Structure 1
């Protein structure tokens, strides 16, 4: 069955554009430089029109709540897109959940619970938005977005509005084939009939488990590294002696070693360099090369790095490949969970 689209706010109100806007003000790590241009569209139609008129060489980076993102100290060149609250609405019909890409995972899971739709409980454990979750196939507690996604509406970098079936995303673990600069604006999820009280109990269990095992009240970025095949990243990090490891004011969490923390005044360079140090130590100890799950975007500023912090070149980069390389700005931030 088809699901009626959400009623959008009146179109034509346009785009809010801000030059040099702070990203550290809302990124969970509370670090990093500004966006060259921060864009807040009123509707998907407005965003599409804006992108059509934008110079094709200008990079576009959608950002949700910044829960799984390191913004480098030199800031992010090009355009950063943030969706408004009006694009965070959730509706339910015929056993399907339609969610604006700005909606948080907990909001979607709660709407499904109230409608008696099971199978979306794991979204309670993903501290990010629907848009990021769809882009990177976010998952936790044994389930991934690819298990529940029916289709998603995407505004392409060229400025067209398209509906993609789930198969088109080419999902694998924590990755999709959504191209750089494309912005997810809405998604439709499926579930199975369930008893709201049972669904709620599972969501409560997930919440309690996260509270007990993860540093939720710290300045962090969620799960730092992907779980390698046959391993848990946190266990490899712990075995390599990295629990509590620090670099400046950046620390490997003592509560959950696959989380990095900003203890107060860490720079993004210190956080990233600490992550690379963890990768080196794990590789030396176990032979396993950890891949970054947190997205790292923007320009490195060597002048902000404390002695020994290391870091990348002063280039616009997004090191989402996870292999230590530094490809051009491309893969976008996502929400991460930790099973």
Structure 2
């Protein structure tokens, strides 16, 4: 019996899409991982609130975006995976001369484009981040020395019971690639603020971002973006390179030759291969520099039987 069967009439009246045993490998850029017990794509915020209100507390909930920095393990994901739809959560609208509201499913690049059209500066960095705004809000995504925290005014969210919340920038508790917002909150959208700017200047900055990405990052590979956070006073790629891990391969997983803080699926990698490679790199960097790199990619789900990856700090 699937989780959907067990929930039965509890989910009657929902307008979104429910899919049991959903293949997570089709929803992530790495294209690996086992199935989710149940995938729910709500029609809109009201539909999501109703779902959360009716879902039993003991069933785990996980929210995913476009899957750009997500590594799903081979045993799949227990409980419900929620993926916000572009139709219900991908809107963007101008609120003032310098403010935009955007749904959490809106790709980062589309927020940058909307800001360009409105003549609002400060959003060019999103042009180079391959994710959606929900993830950017959660992890304080940044690039080109600008971070999400610098643009956020307020964040709209639902909690595990379907109740609505609005958090200020201060209440998000932002720091480098991190926020202190409660883990059970599901972000549905946010108000952002920039500053008046010339469209040609904005476009030039966006072009610089794109040129940089194409020059130094393996953007056409099956990758998850930056694998590790930059340690204080250094760069992750420098430490990885110094440890001799550029091009390092385990199974079908490889640290990119172009940018060695990017991990890629060369074609036949498993979640086990990718996570094993990442932990091997962490171990070698610790031996080389006495630094323990922190994952930036989110690893989620169950290990397959006999395929558990021990973290470097446990070795």
Q: What is the TM-score when the length of structure 1 is the normalising length?
A: 0.86
Partner secondary structure for residue 299 of structure 1: coil
1:214 to 207, 213, 217: 217
Give the structure with the higher percent helix.
2
State the 4+ residue runs in structure 1 displaced beyond 3 angstroms: none
User: Which structure 1 residue ranges, 5 or more long, are not aligned?
Assistant: 1-11, 313-318, 326-339
The aligned residue for residue 93 of structure 2 is 91
Aligned partners of 1:60 and 1:180 also within 8 Å: no
Query: Where does residue 38 of structure 2 map in the other structure?
Result: 37
Offset at residue 179 of structure 1 (A):
2.1
Residue pairs, 1:29-68, within 5 angstroms = 29-68=30-69
Asked if 1:117 corresponds to 2:115, the answer is: no
Pairing 1:323-334 to 2, within 5 Å after superposition: 324=313
Offset from partner CA, 1:245-268 (integer Å, 9 cap, x none): 000110000000000000001000
1:130-161 CA distance string (max 9 Å, x none): 00000110111101100110011101112111
- Give the total of aligned pairs: 300
Three-state SS of the structure 1 residue aligned to 2:25 is coil
Counterpart Cα distance in 1 of 2:313 and 2:108: 30
**1-structure distance, mates of 2:141, 2:203:** 21
- Tell me, in whole angstroms, the C-alpha distance in 2 between the residues paired with 1:13 and 1:198: 45
Deviations 1:159-210 (A, max 9, x none): 1111111111111111112222321111111001000110011001000100
Cα drift, residue 15 of structure 1: 2.7
With normalisation by structure 2, the TM-score equals 0.92
After superposition, the CA RMSD in angstroms is 1.4
Whole-angstrom distance in 2 between the partners of 1:175 and 1:59 = 22
Contact kept, 8 Å, 1:96 with 1:190, in 2: the verdict is: yes
Q: CA deviation at 1:59?
A: 1.3
Q: CA deviation at 1:84?
A: 0.9
Maintained 8 Å contact 1:218/1:261: yes
- Partner residue, 2:162: 159
Relative contact order (C-alpha < 8 Å, sep 6+): which is higher?
Answer: 1
Deviation at residue 17 of structure 1 after TM alignment: 1.1
2:299 matched residue in structure 1: 296
Instruction: State the match for 1:205 in structure 2.
Output: 208
